[in-house]
Chains A and B, each alone.
Chain A
Amino acid sequence: MKSLLEYAGLEPGRLHFSWISSAEGEKFANFATSVVESVTALGPIKRFAKDEVSVGDRGVEL
């Protein structure tokens, strides 16, 4: 999925996966920190976020 989304234009560094057991608190904290840092550095998402509808070419033409 990561590969497909990045193929479609999602910036690398926005989507992260890891295996973390419920007993691995420190690993979880470190991972969460690294995700926040990496995503903050990229800024707000533009490509997939939707807060209004834009109907483009096949939409309103007149």
Chain B
Amino acid sequence: MNARTTKLREIAKKLLDKQKVDVVIGFKKGTIPLKNTPFFATNSEEADLLLWDGNCIGNLAAYLPKMAGKRAAIVAQGCVSRNVVGLIQEKQVDSNNIYIIGMPCTGMLDPRKIIAAVPGEITEAVEDQLYVTARGKGFEITLNRSDVLNRNCDRCTVRNPVLFDEIASEPKPELKDPVRYEKIRAIEALPPEGRAESIDELLSPCIRCYACRDACPLCYCPECFVDKSSPQWCGKSQDDRDVLSYHLIRAFHTAGRCTECGACEEVCPMGIKIRLISGKVEKDIREIFDGYEAWKDLKTPPPLTVFQRDDPQPFVKE
């Protein structure tokens, strides 16, 4: 068991035993390799099932708005802590009911990368700080952890929580100026038809299960625009224009709010790189608003929620 898991269980047990919280939201081991499952521990025996490793995919902050007044502790790495800040700023949760267990993070593993690197079905996978070893019938392959990280984690600059009540380890070193947006820049450089083709190809496997929306802590609307039926905003079939509309409108709703947690991509059953769309919006906001990154503290509101006389407006014609 790793040190962060030991510390996490200790903190969770203390909080539950002293009845400081009703539930600790974390992860427990999943039933298949490379996948953990979100877990809601309500007593100290259950707290012993909590763990932290490279398979804690998704964003736990997405569960907070539906906790219905319960006092909840949440395990939060950099991105999740930023989303908790966002939910507090947008008044979706009461900060008095939330206890943040900070979790310095070293990135989550991308199961698709690991599966692609081995010759058969993986029956067991173990990781340490530097390596991941995948075993199956007739093979055992060790990979560099840094080569199989999620595409958002490998360039993350906020691995340590920005807000917490208690922290489970020493801070982890942060990356400085990673290379970002290579693929988005490549699409931008294409002519309009080429861009259309790239985006259509990206979205062609979409089955509209809406896992990307449902896993996203920004998507807490009680009724999503795609579900609205009177009036019907968006067609419900597999018509590619409706699929495109769904993804573009959702991406636009994340403008200035996306923390690049990558949950949308991690949960996509078809492996669609959804952040090639939402990441474009995130990139524009960063470039237009002087390097802005969403929700690094409780005070700074996202740029699109406030009006300044000197707001940049490169798209407006005089």
Contact = CB atoms under 8 A, between A and B. Distances in A.
Indicate if A touches B (C-beta under 8 A). Answer: yes
Contacts of B204: 56-57
Contacts of B316: 17-19
Interface stretch (B82-90, B192-200, B258-266): B192-200
Given A7-B199, A17-B315, A19-B316, 17 more contacts: A4-B284, A5-B248, A6-B195, A7-B195, A7-B280, A8-B195, A8-B196, A8-B248, A31-B317, A47-B241, A48-B241, A48-B245, A50-B235, A55-B237, A55-B238, A57-B238, A59-B237
Interface in A1-56: 1-12, 16-19, 31, 47-50, 53-56
B318 A18 contact: yes
A19 B311 CA distance: 13
Interface in B241-297: 241-242, 244-245, 248, 251-252, 277, 280-281, 284
A56 B284 contact: no
A11 B235 CA distance: 23
A34 to B, nearest CB: 8
B81 to A, nearest CB: 27
B195 A58 contact: no
B239 A56 contact: yes
A55 B200 CA distance: 13
Instruction: Kindly state the interface size class of chain A when it binds its partner.
Output: 20 to 34
Interface string B177-207: 0000000000110001101110110001001
Nearest to B241: A50
Contacts of A10: 192
Contacts of B207: 58
Given A48-B241, A53-B235, A59-B238, A9 B192 contact: yes
Interface string B79-99: 000000000000000000000
Interface string B189-231: 0001101110110001001000000000000000000000000
Interface string B303-318: 0000000000101111
Q: Which of A4, A9, A58 has the most CB of B within 10 A?
A: A9
B278 to A, nearest CB: 10
A3 B242 CA distance: 19
25 contacts: A1-B252, A3-B280, A3-B315, A4-B251, A4-B284, A6-B192, A7-B188, A8-B244, A8-B277, A9-B193, A17-B313, A17-B315, A17-B317, A18-B318, A31-B317, A47-B241, A48-B241, A49-B241, A50-B242, A53-B235, A55-B238, A56-B204, A56-B240, A57-B204, A57-B238
Given A2-B315, A53-B239, A9 B248 contact: no
Interface of A: 1-12, 16-19, 31, 47-50, 53-59
A29 to B, nearest CB: 14
A2 B192 CA distance: 13
Interface in B134-173: none
Contacts of B245: 48
B210 to A, nearest CB: 15
A9 B317 contact: no
A50 B280 contact: no
A1 B196 CA distance: 16
